[in-house]
Structure formats: C-alpha cells, structure tokens
Amino acid sequence: MLKRKFLSVFALYALLLPGFAFAQTASSTGSATATVAAPAQYQASKEVIDRIKEEGSKNSQVMQTLSYLTDVIGGRLTNSPAMKRGNEWTRDTMTKWGLQNAKLEAWGPFGRGWSLKSFSAQIVSPQAFPIIAYPKAWSPSTKGVVTSEVVHLDVKEDADFAKYKGKLKDKIVMISAIRPLAELKDPLSVRHTDADLAKMVTDGEAAFQRQQQQSQTLRPQQAAQPQAQQQMSPEQTGRLKSLMMRLKSANFLLEEGAAVIVDNSAIGSGGTLFVSSASVAQEVPANPLEIFNRRNSLSAYQKEAEAKMLPQITMATEDYNRLARMLKQGEKLKMSIDIQAQYHDEDLMGYNTTAEIVGTDPKLKDEIVMLGGHMDSWHSSTGATDNAAGVSVAMEAVRILQTLGLKPRRTIRVGLWSGEEQGLHGSRNYVKQQFGEMVAPVAAPGTTPARAELVKKPAYEKLSAYYNLDNGTGKIRGVYQQGNAAVAPIFKAWLEPFKDMGATTLTIANTGGTDHLAFDAIGLPGFQFIQDEVEYDTRTHHSNQDNFDRIQAEDMKQAATIMAAFVYQTAMMEEKIPRKTMR
Ligand SMILES: [Zn+2]
C-alpha cells in the first residue's frame, strides 16, 4: 500500500490550500447520498463453497507463487527489469493455468527504471565496522568507491547553514537527527480482537453518518472544500517547517557538492530500515504551502531529476544513532560507500498484467468482475507483504475457480498493477483507459475550480465490482464497504460460510492507500478486504525485511479462498453489485 506518511502529506495539503484539486477527493465527493434498491440476493450452494475451500486449502499454490515472485524475481520497483519480469511471469503462469487473454497492458509514460548493480557501506576509521543501510530508489551512483569524512549536518534555522558553507565538498553528510529508540513494549505482530472489529463497525457508521449530514447541510461550493479555511495545528506548522528545512538542505548539499547523503530510517528498529524514493532538490518555494504542490515538482524517476539528486542512502537507526553520538563525542569518522546503480530509459511506459476467465452467459459475459493487487514494490527487500501477497492471493483465487471448472456467468478479470507505490498510477491509468475519469476544468488563478465531471467509457456500465488485497499477510476479517450501504446484505450472506475462518465483519467505512480507490473515485464499486495487521506497520511494508519468511501461509490460503468465493458469486448474480450514487 501507499505509505500513510505520503497520504498524510496530501491530506495536509488538501486541508491548507483552498481550491486544491486532487483525484482522490472524487472518492469523498462521490460518497453515497442514496442507494438503489438492493438486488436479489445470490448465494452459491454449499457444495460450490466447499469445493472452493477444499481446493484453496488442500491444493494451494499460493506460497509457490509467492516464493517465485519474491525469492526468484525479487524486489519489483516500478519500471525496473524485475518489475517487467514479474509482469511477464504472471502473464505466462496464468496462461499455463488455462486463463485467457493474459497480457501486459501499457500505461504512462511513467518514467525511468532503476536497478542496483552493487552496494557497500562501512565505517573504515577510527575503527572498521559494517553498517546496515540501503540506497534510496533512483539514487544516482557514486563516482566509484567514496571514502570520506562523515559530517552531521544540524540545521534548524536558516542561519545554521553558514557554519557549513564551503566545508561539505565530497563529504558524506548525515542529515537526520538522532532518533531515540524506546523500549519495545508492544508486540510486533497484532491481530484484530473481536472488540477491534466491533469498534471498526461503530466508528465506520458514525463517520458515515457525519459525512451524510455534512453533505446535506453544506452548499455545493462549501462541500467541495469543507476544511479549506481551517488553521494549522502547531504540529502541522512544525512539520511544514521541518519539510522546508529538508528541502533547503537538499539544495544546499547539492550546491556544496557533498558526495553522499545519509538519512536515518524514520521508523523501525532491530536492524529493520524503511526506505523508499530518493529526494530531489526541488526549487524552494516562497510560500511554504507550495512545497506540497507536486505539479511543480520533479519525481526521482524523471530523467530531469538526475541532475538535482546526490547519491543517497537510508541507514538503520541503531547504526545511525551510534555514528551521530560518536561525532558528538568528537571522533573523526571515515566511511566508505559504493553505490552503483543503473537507470533504464529504453521504455518509459509502465505495465499492468491482466488475465481472464471468460464468462459463459451469453447475456452477461460482456460484464466484468475484477480482482487484484499491486505487483510493484520498494526495492530493499522482495516486497512480500507489500504486495506479492495480494498478487499471489488474487492469482490463487482465479486458479481455484479455473481448476474447479466453475463456469462464471460474467467474465472474471485479474489486474496486477504497477506504479502503486508512486501514487496508484497503474490502476488509475487502467480505470481511465477502460472505464472513465473525473475531469475538472482548469480554473483561472484565484478562482474556485468548477466541480469535476465524470466522463464515462462504454465499459463503465459493464463492471460489476473490483476486489483488492493490499494490507499484507494478515488473513481476511471482513470487508470495508467504502460507503456503499446496499452491499451489506449481499456481503453478509457471502461471509456466512467463512465465519469459522475468522471473516465476519462488515464496516461502512472507507479505507485508503491502495488500488480500489482508482475504481471508487469514479463511482465504481471497489473494495479492500479488512485484514489482520500482523507485522505490516511495525516491520514489513517498505522495509528491508519485507520477505517471504514474514508471510503466514494459512492466512494466504484463507484470503485466496474468500476472494475466490466473492469474485465467483459476483460473477453469478442476476444483477451487478449496486453502486453508490455520485453526487
Ligand atoms: Zn506500499
């Protein structure tokens, strides 16, 4: 899933800038105001559900699929050669299983690929020791092995830069503060208790009611930007200031000609580090709020960003803190770093993999039920929980249905997305190409933008629903209804046979951060399952420990079985899954 930090930055931006238009707001403005009458309930026979369960538990291939994706193909950064290999391997594997129309579907252009050719990092003086670190994605290479003095840049105010001026050329520069690590009192792995699940239902209902009331009492103009005029909290002000200082530091280090930038993993401990994209030295805006305006900024995967980036790595916190403390004690540290990375500019397009079980009902086979997850990952491990898990489960769900020879009335199509980690690009582009998009007229400066309008493609009326899995290894505990009240009786009946497997909960709540939003944004039913967290936030996703060994096989089998049953029953209904009404 897309990092929460990343999302919160956008939430902050949406909060602060009047007139900010972001595709995701379509999901909130598109919330249900009324729902159509519930369609006739369809439920597969006990015999069919039992066969799905049996195939999913006794003959499961899910861990074999997962091992190939993670162990053999490895980390799958968007547009890297490994990502492409993942696209081709999943296409070929599903073809082998008997699925039809398995193919790569291009979107984009996205930007350049990046792969690591070699990397090493160690302290060499006054004593030698290795450190745990990883280059940031799309980091430039060092000029051979760099062996240089380590400097800790400590800038809190603009005036602080003066003492470093002219002193950082070819130096290895640490830019983060020491991050104290508290005693680990909470377990690394958690699962939802009955009380958690009950709270999810009541909180979801309360939030839904609030939103309903708000949408009825606000005039359309206000509803479009209900919080635009709110004040920043001290915490937000502080965060904005530290982001500005980071940006100024990036520019300063580029001008000074530092050799490598080192930052401290923002979360995690015990040698686990969390690393994503390299930072680009963007122009420092006069208005600090403009820092969030990505329309004016470069992403690390754009070719033009290369000249505005220094080689950069993220270090595990125990190692980072030690180096910072040694420098404070007056030690002179020398470090040796080698980053050799390759950019891939041959093909800037991104690719999703899709495949189908073609429907058999002459009246309904042109209609589609989709399921999927994103195949791209970050690069410091093998993207097992984020999100080879979702890919393997979605593939296993269609393998189960294909193997059992169940003849779905509608066509079942699996979509394995790329570019999710950079902003749900693969699924958003797919939805735009296939089903439609929200188009907002460009507003003149200083004026309120007009409401975005839905522009539909013919297939808009053909999609019944999309089911996504992207919250790690944890088994399915239920479904987020995404504000769609009319699906409750349908999903309730479909969860019934999986009670004994722990899946019981329906919440009207929305959940964010992943590819079902691409569908939801244009009013198509898109759902993410509720999953147990396990170690998702504490240890695995976006970390150097997102590997096969952190995956729980029984959870994967359970999830694939439930996903297969949901997809199959959606394909067999007389009518499509009811939709929310777009306001
Ligand atoms: Zn993610």
Q: How far is the CA of 444 from the centre of ligand 1 (A)?
A: 35
Q: Is the peptide bond before 101 cis (omega within 30 degrees of 0)?
A: no
Indicate the pLDDT class of residue 446, thresholds 50, 70 and 90.
confident
Indicate the pLDDT class of residue 223, thresholds 50, 70 and 90.
very low
Q: How many CA atoms lie within 13 A of 385 on its CB side?
A: 27
pLDDT of residue 160: 96
**Secondary structure of residue 384 in the 3-state scheme:** helix
Q: How far is the CA of 535 from the centre of ligand 1 (A)?
A: 13
- Burial status of residue 442 (CB atoms within 10 A of its CB: 0-12, 13-18, 19 or more): exposed
Q: How far is the CA of 61 from the centre of ligand 1 (A)?
A: 24
Q: How far is the CA of 377 from the centre of ligand 1 (A)?
A: 7
Q: How far is the CA of 307 from the centre of ligand 1 (A)?
A: 27
Rounded alpha-carbon distances, angstroms, from residue 389 to 66, 150, 507: 7, 39, 23
For 185-222, write each residue's pLDDT tens digit.
999 999 999 999 999 999 999 999 998 888 777 555 54
Q: How far is the CA of 46 from the centre of ligand 1 (A)?
A: 36
Q: How far is the CA of 382 from the centre of ligand 1 (A)?
A: 12
Q: Is the pLDDT of residue 411 over 70?
A: yes
pLDDT of residue 230: 59
Helix (H) or strand (E) holding 383: none
Q: How far is the CA of 386 from the centre of ligand 1 (A)?
A: 5
Q: How far is the CA of 432 from the centre of ligand 1 (A)?
A: 22
For 34-79, write each residue's pLDDT tens digit.
445 556 789 999 999 999 999 999 999 999 999 999 999 999 999 9
Q: How far is the CA of 254 from the centre of ligand 1 (A)?
A: 29
For 474-490, write each residue's pLDDT tens digit.
999 999 999 999 999 99
Q: How far is the CA of 541 from the centre of ligand 1 (A)?
A: 6
113-125/129-130 β-pairing: antiparallel
The residues near 136 (Cβ < 8 Å, ≥ 6 apart) are 275, 276, 277, 278, 279, 300, 312, 313, 314
Q: d(Cα 492, Cα 502) in Å, to the nearest integer?
A: 13
Q: How far is the CA of 9 from the centre of ligand 1 (A)?
A: 15
Q: How far is the CA of 542 from the centre of ligand 1 (A)?
A: 6
The residues near 568 (Cβ < 8 Å, ≥ 6 apart) are 44, 48, 52, 401, 406, 408, 412
Q: Is the pLDDT of residue 14 over 90?
A: no
- ∠ CA 86-87-90 to the nearest 5 degrees? 80
Q: d(Cα 395, Cα 78) in Å, to the nearest integer?
A: 20
Q: d(Cα 542, Cα 328) in Å, to the nearest integer?
A: 30
Count of other CB atoms within 10 angstroms of residue 90: 27
Q: What is the mean pLDDT of residues 312-326?
A: 98
pLDDT of residue 476: 98
pLDDT of residue 30: 36
pLDDT of residue 582: 64
| Residue 451 and residue 428 in contact, taking contact as beta carbons nearer than 8 Å | no
pLDDT of residue 189: 96
Q: How far is the CA of 4 from the centre of ligand 1 (A)?
A: 9
For 361-396, write each residue's pLDDT tens digit.
999 999 999 999 999 999 999 999 999 999 999 999
| Residue 62 and residue 394 in contact, taking contact as beta carbons nearer than 8 Å | no
What average pLDDT does the structure give for the chain? Answer: 91
Q: How far is the CA of 83 from the centre of ligand 1 (A)?
A: 15
**Secondary structure of residue 230 in the 3-state scheme:** coil
Q: Is the pLDDT of residue 320 over 60?
A: yes
Q: What is the pTM of this model?
A: 0.91
**Secondary structure of residue 22 in the 3-state scheme:** coil
pLDDT of residue 393: 98
Q: d(Cα 358, Cα 292) in Å, to the nearest integer?
A: 44
Q: How far is the CA of 272 from the centre of ligand 1 (A)?
A: 16
pLDDT of residue 440: 86
Indicate the pLDDT class of residue 24, thresholds 50, 70 and 90.
very low
Q: How far is the CA of 84 from the centre of ligand 1 (A)?
A: 18
| 227 DSSP 8-state letter | T
Q: How far is the CA of 466 from the centre of ligand 1 (A)?
A: 19
**Secondary structure of residue 477 in the 3-state scheme:** strand
Helix (H) or strand (E) holding 201: helix 194-217
Q: How far is the CA of 53 from the centre of ligand 1 (A)?
A: 29
**Secondary structure of residue 314 in the 3-state scheme:** strand
For 233-291, write each residue's pLDDT tens digit.
889 888 899 889 999 999 999 999 999 999 999 999 999 999 999 999 998 888 888 88
Q: What is the mean pLDDT of residues 217-228?
A: 51
For 160-191, write each residue's pLDDT tens digit.
999 999 999 999 999 999 999 999 999 999 99
For 89-108, write each residue's pLDDT tens digit.
999 999 999 999 999 999 99
Cα dihedral 577, 460, 360, 61 sign? negative
Q: How far is the CA of 374 from the centre of ligand 1 (A)?
A: 9
pLDDT of residue 231: 78
**Distance from CA of residue 106 to its chain's centroid?**
19
Q: How far is the CA of 430 from the centre of ligand 1 (A)?
A: 19
| Structure token pair of residue 66 | 């997962």
